[in-house]
Amino acid sequence: MTHRSPLLTLAAVAIFFAAMLTADFLVHPSAGSATAGAPSTTPPSPTSPSPISSASPAATPTQPASTPATSRPITSPAASATKRAYQDQFPHKVVYAGRSEDGHLAIAVAVLGDRAAAYICDGRSREAWLRGTVDGDSLRLTSRQGYRLTAELDDGRLEGEVRGDGRHWKFEIRPAEKPAGLYRAKGSTTTVGWIRLADGSVVGVATGADGTSEAAPPLGSDDEAQVDGQTVQATPVNGDDEI
């Protein structure tokens, strides 16, 4: 004698599972903003199929995911970039710096080998240090507070988006030539991050031991700054730094 109710349970779970997954595949480009309440114009930049995934039958459903996205004009650059994306490679050591498209955030991403570190800040109170890895021509980084940065190489530029705190920012930033780049300094209790942009301007945020953030102290041309009442030397951040 057999019982059928566990099979029904199993079938119900399988159907529910499949339905959720299908919905994700169909709606995904705008779905993430359902909780964020942000406008749903997110390009699925990290979803361009990699040679590995397209070779596997399990990953073939990724194709439909990009289909609805092609109707969005915003994604066409990413789509056209897919062809040469395979040839794009990160330099062994590089730092990208720039601003988000809306100008709200300064963003710096440092890559060393297959490790990546990033810093985002608005120069007033919002900041996050992110860590992650390089996967071919794309990056994925996360911060402790839940910020996520995904990006991929597009003709030498880094194109992607930052999500977190219920918002998201898109960016396209270029390699930074020194003295532009990402800097960090630690005082007795305060940690400061600065992004020096290509035009020489500096954006930074300082966070104290109690977790409150404020605009960073000025970063001198000698990379020195006053932190916690002392003069400290800011150091360039590398992709493999423990931040």
Partner 1 sequence: MATAESAATPPTAQPTRIGPVLVAMSIGAVVSIGLGLFGRLHHPTGVAINLAGFSSGLAVKTWLTTAAFLFAIVQLVTGMAIFGRIPLKGAWLGPVHRWSGRVAVLLVTPVAVHCLYALGFADFSTRALIHSILGCLFFGAFVCKMLVLTRDDAPGWVLPVLGGLVFSLLAALFATAAVWFFVYRGFTF
Check binding of 74 to partner 1 (CB under 8 A): no
Closer CB to partner 1, residue 48 or residue 190? 48
Whole-number minimum distance, CB 208 to partner 1, in Å?
18
**CB atoms < 10 A from the CB of 72, how many?**
17
- Residue 13 φ then ψ, to 5°: -65, -45
Of positions 39, 58, 200, 230, contacts partner 1 by CB under 8 A = 58
DSSP secondary structure letters along 26-52: HHHHHHTHHHH---S----GGGSPPHH
Instruction: Give the C-alpha separation, 209 to 211, whole Å.
Output: 5
Of positions 24, 155, 177, 222, contacts partner 1 by CB under 8 A = 24
The window from 47-55, 71-79, 195-203, 216-224 that contacts partner 1 (CB under 8 A) reads: 47-55
Q: Which of residues 126-165 bind partner 1 (CB under 8 A)?
A: 132-133, 140, 142, 144-146, 148, 150, 163-164
Q: Which of residues 164-203 bind partner 1 (CB under 8 A)?
A: 164, 166
**The dihedral formed by the CA atoms of 10, 16, 21 and 22, expressed in degrees to the nearest 10:** 120
Whole-number minimum distance, CB 54 to partner 1, in Å?
9
Check binding of 28 to partner 1 (CB under 8 A): yes
Query: 45: closest CA among 81, 99, 18?
Result: 81
Check binding of 209 to partner 1 (CB under 8 A): no
Check binding of 47 to partner 1 (CB under 8 A): yes
User: Which residues lie closer than 8 Å to 47 by C-beta, 6 or more apart?
Assistant: 28, 62, 65, 66, 69
Query: 191: closest CA among 146, 238, 242?
Result: 242
Whole-number minimum distance, CB 225 to partner 1, in Å?
28
State the pairing for strand pair 138-143/148-154: antiparallel
Query: Which residues in this chain contact partner 1 in the complex, by CB under 8 A?
Result: 1-7, 9-10, 12-13, 16-17, 20-21, 23-25, 27-28, 31-36, 42, 44, 46-50, 52-53, 56, 58-59, 61-62, 65, 132-133, 140, 142, 144-146, 148, 150, 163-164, 166
